[in-house]
Structure 1
Amino acid sequence: MLYGKEHVRRYQETDGAEGHDWNNTIVLLLTTKGRKSGKPYTTPLIYQKFGDDYLVVASKGGDPEHPQWYKNLQASPDAEVQVKGERFKARARTAEPGEKPEMWRVMTATWPQYDDYQKNTDRDIPVVVLERVR
């Protein structure tokens, strides 16, 4: 099972042939700019398509803190996304309260543990919408 930097490396080297299909779900690579360092950071994240957009969840396994990649997007919403061999620029936004329930259902259908993560933290776990920049 691929994790962390090795997951990113194999995904990039194989255009997702290794790493896109992971643990009975699907994964994209999200590259954000470090809010302190300015360096690029790439994170493998479970995703689903939602219309023309892509959804990811800032769960960090139900940790009380937001994941670093989400904090980076809050500071600078411009990101790069890789889905299999396709790479594109995206702008990230947090799902609005009115749209989040439907998006949450889409994401828990692919990774039911998100419901457990939410139960285990007081933090409202964000759904992040990645909108392709055209």
Structure 2
Amino acid sequence: MATAEKLHGPEHVARYLETDGEDGYEWREGTTILLLTTTGRKSGEDRTNALIFRPWNDAYLVVASKGGDDAPPAWFLNIESDPAVTVQVKADRFEANARVATAEEKPALWKIMAEAWPAYDDYQRKTDREIPVVVLERTAGADA
């Protein structure tokens, strides 16, 4: 069995799902991981990604960094097409709405995320693309 620190990509998602996050929630350098499921903008199929997150108010924050690539991650393009997503934090699964942090919110939210994963600052320096912070807000009626 892979240790959580070594998990990445589809293997990380599979272990997280199999164990309700017991294996995969805690990751590298003290970070925590949630699962974000989007609807593929071309395929219409569910696409699930393991992402570093931080709680913020009643929402969760993730960063669409793709390691500083000039192109955004596919999951971000999917939420631009359809912001209705499913989020899983450990065993808690719920429907949410994904939105990009506003220009007013972003500096404070970026700081929260860069404290969680300092490499985000390096990723931003690698690209001219403004890397967005995405806010995942539980939809009304979703179990708390």
Q: What range describes the TM-score normalised by the shorter chain of this pair?
A: over 0.9
Distance 1:89 1:38 in 2: 17
Partner of 1:58: 64
Residue pairs, 1:15-94, within 5 angstroms: 15-23=20-28, 24-94=30-100
Identity rate, percent: 56
Residue by residue over 1:62-113, the C-alpha shift from the partner in whole angstroms, topping out at 9 and shown as x without a partner, is 0000100000000000000000000000000000001100000000010000
1:8 matches 2:9: no
Offset of residue 55 of structure 1: 0.2
Root mean square deviation of aligned Cα: 0.4
The code of the aligned residue for 2:105 comes to: E
1:104 matches 2:110: yes
Structure 1 segments unaligned to the other structure (5+ residues): none
Distance 1:4 1:128 in 2: 19
The code of the aligned residue for 1:17 comes to: E
2:32 match: secondary structure: strand
The code of the aligned residue for 1:93 comes to: R
2:42 match: secondary structure: coil
Structure 2 segments unaligned to the other structure (5+ residues): 1-5
The aligned length equals 134
The code of the aligned residue for 2:134 comes to: V
